[in-house]
Amino acid sequence: MADPHVPHEAEVVERIQESPTIFTLRLRFTDPARHAAFRFEPGQFNMLYLYGVGEIPISIVSDPRDEHLFDHTIRVVGRVTKGFTQLKAGDRLGVRGPYGRGWPLRRAKGRDVMVVTGGLGCAPVVSVINYVIRRRDDFRRLVIMQGVKHSDDLIWRSQYSLWSRQRDTQVLVAADAGAALWPWHIGRVTELFDRVLIDAARAVVMMCGPEGMMRVAIDNLLHKGVPEDGIYLSMERSMQCAVGLCGHCQYGGKFACKDGPVFAYPEVKPLFGIRGF
Partner 1 sequence: MESGFLPRTRFQTLLDALHRAGYRCVGPRVRDGAIVYDTLTRAEELPRGMRDRQAPGRYRLEQTGNPRFFSWANGPQALKPFVFAPQEPLWRSERNASGEIRFAEISPPAERLAIIGVRACDLAALRLQDRHFQEGVVADSHYAARRRNLILIAVHCTHPADTCFCVSTGDGPRATQDFDLALSELDDGYLVQAGSEPGRELAAQLTLTRATAAQREAAAREIEESAKSQTRRLPSRQLRDALFANLEHPRWNDVAERCLSCGNCTAVCPTCFCHSEAEEPTLAGDHSRHLRLWDSCFTQGHSYIHGLTIRADTRTRYRQWLTHKLGSWHDQYGRSGCVGCGRCIAWCPVGIDITEEAAAICGGGTHG
Q: Which residues are at the interface with partner 1 (CB under 8 A)?
A: 1, 3-9, 30, 49, 51-55, 77-78, 90-94, 236-238, 240-241, 243-248, 250, 252-255, 258, 270-271, 274-277
CB of 77 to partner 1, least distance (A): 4
CB of 276 to partner 1, least distance (A): 3
Asked if omega into 261 is within 30° of 0 (cis), the reply is yes
CB of 274 to partner 1, least distance (A): 6
For residue 197, the one-letter residue type is: L
CB of 275 to partner 1, least distance (A): 7
In the complex with partner 1, the residue whose CB is nearer, 136 or 248, is: 248
In the complex with partner 1, the residue whose CB is nearer, 80 or 133, is: 80
CB of 252 to partner 1, least distance (A): 5
Q: For residue 258, what is the enclosing H or E element?
A: helix 256-259
What spatial distance separates the first Cα and last Cα of the chain, rounded to whole Å? 34
**252: how many CB neighbours lie within 10 A of its CB?**
11
In the complex with partner 1, the residue whose CB is nearer, 90 or 137, is: 90
Region class of 229: left (phi > 0), else alpha (psi between -120 and 50), else beta: alpha
Calculated CA dihedral for residues 71, 73, 79, 82, nearest 10 degrees: 100
CB of 166 to partner 1, least distance (A): 33
In the complex with partner 1, the residue whose CB is nearer, 58 or 132, is: 58
In the complex with partner 1, the residue whose CB is nearer, 79 or 195, is: 79
CB of 220 to partner 1, least distance (A): 24
Q: Using CA atoms, how far apart are residues 163 and 172, in angstroms rounded to an integer?
A: 11
In the complex with partner 1, the residue whose CB is nearer, 32 or 276, is: 276
Would you call 173 helix, strand, or coil by DSSP? strand
In the complex with partner 1, the residue whose CB is nearer, 266 or 270, is: 270
In the complex with partner 1, the residue whose CB is nearer, 178 or 244, is: 244
**Cβ atoms 163, 171 nearer than 8 A:** yes
Region class of 86: left (phi > 0), else alpha (psi between -120 and 50), else beta: alpha
Q: Which long-range contacts (CB under 8 A, 24 or more apart) does 74-79 make?
A: 74/22, 74/23, 74/24, 74/25, 75/21, 75/22, 75/120, 75/121, 76/21, 76/22, 76/23, 79/53, 79/54
CA atoms within 13 A on the CB side of 88: 1
CB of 5 to partner 1, least distance (A): 5
Q: Is 80 exposed, middle or buried (0-12, 13-18, 19+ CB in 10 A)?
A: middle
